[in-house]
A and B are shown apart, each in its own frame.
Chain A
Amino acid sequence: MTTSKRWIPLTFKVTLLTLLLVWTLIPIIWMVLSSFKPNSVITANTPRIFFTPTLEHYASLFSSGNSLWPYLLNSLFIAGVSTLIAVVLGCMAGFGLSRIRIRGKQHLAFWIISTRMAPIAAVIVPLYLLFRYLYLLDTHAGLIVAYLSFNLPFAIWLMTAFFDDLPPDLEEAAMIDGATKFQAFRYVVLPLMTPGLVTTAILCFIFAWNDYAFAQTFSGPSTQTIPIAAAQLLTQTGIDWGKLLAIGTIVVCPMAIAGLLVKRWLVQGLTLGAVK
């Protein structure tokens, strides 16, 4: 009796999860699969699962006149630097917000995260005007600043939550052990913050890595990122599906692999404080 009672919710759960998996994974699997198909197979009327794989799309991406390399490097550089700055500043600001006693702290914290709530479309024109005056259009710095404007409040907010979960007793114990405030931070707080730092870094990196709107608006010939390269394949004369799917795979895979590698920390980070 009890087994059948448990059995029904279990089937329900499994069905739901299967549906969800199919829903999220099929497009990605199809994209990765198709990126290895010859053009004739991609555009065939009946979808085909078995075919002779080819690397021609990847090869042409990196060899043809318009190579993907500069886009890839731009993406890595811009996303990397903006993530690094967001994490470093977010870590310090989050520590301060979590530890220092100031009046109206929660209002300050809310104000910071509220800047993240504006949609990208709302800030894109003002930012464009600002960047034009500051000669930041078509520069790496411009895009880094643009991503920071969204990632920094997010990083501060996330790191504050992480620090709130770390008992101040530990730093205090370190200070009584003879550590300066900075030493307590360096030797005790920081090592314990790894899950928080990794979670924040990955989420910030994904935002910058995946962004299209900012890159489309602020970048120029020398600073275009991978999503722009993908968009350029959608031309009036036709769509180069093979290359497009290959770029898509290149965009998605590193993030997916990185996510898997740090899954333990990511889960720990995102559920921190939720289960206690």
Chain B
Amino acid sequence: MATLQLNDIVKDFGGTQVIKGVDLEVKDREFVVFVGPSGCGKSTLMRMIAGLESATAGDIKVDGKRINEVGPAERGLAMVFQSYALYPHMTVEDNMGFSLRLAKVKKAERREKVLAAARILQLEPLLDRKPRALSGGQRQRVAIGRAIVRNPSIFLFDEPLSNLDAALRVQMRIELARLHEELDATMIYVTHDQIEAMTMADKIVVLQDGEVEQIGSPMELYHHPCNRFVAGFIGSPKMNFLDVEVREASGEGINVALPGGDCRVPVMGDGVSAGDTLTLGIRPEHLELDEQGPLEGKIVVIERLGGATSLYLEHGGSEWILVADGDVALHVHDQVRFSFAPTCAHLFKGDGEALTHLHRHPLVDIDRQENRAKPA
């Protein structure tokens, strides 16, 4: 069990900075997810924690001890690779027991530990097989099993589910969450899939271009994104954006002009004055069909998912998405009006920074532990 600290980590590849000063604190037994678009540096950051890349500057500390100069073998971490990286010439048992063999653990003890891990992952019938005789999901399990056998202080997962098909991915996601509970270990997980991030993380680190955009619980990122990038990245379908003009800024919020009437968004208006242009952001699921609504659009595409319907609307030259009930009786080319609850709206300044909400969402500080705990 361990904590991890990153202090002002920089990584420079031949003159280009791919990591530009990252600070992070991972608590004991926390499940932290690095998420961001491809090329944002999340895998590089993980490889630096693993010791596979050196940090150009900054400190990496495990349990308060600086480990920058410690090789990957001595860091006592385990990593699950995107490609699984199973040793093709070894059986499943030998793959899982390789770290113990290197540590000169006796054969009987080795077998016992491998069996224990295999039991957790239901791998017992496969122990004598070679990786090539396994399916993708089984290989993934073996890779995780190999990490468990190592009994690491921190588990590292580098996009472990991205090579699996959709159904298997959901299943493994649930298994990983269960595993985290069972092993009670510190885990760091890299993904570009915001759903994986939202569902598994205690804490999400959103990265872009080698910089941390925001660190927070899934609910905090969803309800209080600190800038436009995070707002657009977290949540599916993506948040809708519209440039609006400020009518009035006061202690109770900011009045902005919408085509069908003004609207007061309850955010802090420091430094904002009438006449400024801000960007209004509303999630598709917070938009409602409303004949008296202040916004209007023409339906371009309808996606019916059964439980919900995604309406793609043409609205003032941009495309908006509105998630409505599963049984709305609308057609393409219909003109609809819609509204939203002002408390669910977000306002962003010209540089993308979000204006702070006056009220915090009640679920923002819930973590996975609390999620699991039954109400007394």
Residues of A within 8 A of B (CB): 167, 169-170, 172-180, 183, 187-188, 191-192
Contacts and interface: CB of A to CB of B under 8 A. Distances in A.
Interface stretch (B23-31, B55-63, B72-80, B207-215): B72-80
B88 A172 contact: no
A169 B89 CA distance: 15
Given A167-B83, A172-B72, A177 B88 contact: no
A192 B88 CA distance: 8
A193 to B, nearest CB: 10
A170 B90 CA distance: 12
Contacts of B89: 191-192
Contact of B87 (A175, A176, A183, A188): A188
Given A167-B85, A188-B87, A192-B88, A176 B50 contact: yes
B320 interface: no
11 contacts: A169-B83, A170-B87, A172-B50, A172-B81, A173-B79, A173-B85, A176-B72, A177-B150, A178-B74, A179-B73, A179-B98
Contacts of A176: 50-52, 72-73, 75, 77-79
B103 interface: yes
A170 B71 CA distance: 16
A176 B50 CA distance: 7
B256 to A, nearest CB: 51
Contacts of B83: 167, 169
Contacts of A187: 98, 102
Nearest to A170: B85
| Residue of B87, B88, B99, B146 ringed by the most chain A CB atoms within 10 A | B87
Interface residues of B, number: 24
A197 to B, nearest CB: 14
A172 B75 CA distance: 13
Contacts of B146: 173, 177
B102 A183 contact: yes
| Residue of A169, A173, A180 ringed by the most chain B CB atoms within 10 A | A173
Contacts of B85: 167, 169-170, 172-173
B81 A169 contact: yes
Contact of B71 (A173, A174, A175, A177): A175
B87 A174 contact: yes
B102 A177 contact: yes
Nearest to A171: B85
A174 B52 contact: no
The 8 residue pairs across chains A and B that have the minimum distance between CB atoms = A169-B85, A173-B85, A177-B99, A178-B102, A175-B72, A178-B73, A191-B89, A176-B79
Given A172-B72, A188-B87, A178 B81 contact: no
A175 B73 contact: yes
Contacts of A173: 79, 81, 85-87, 146
Nearest to B76: A178
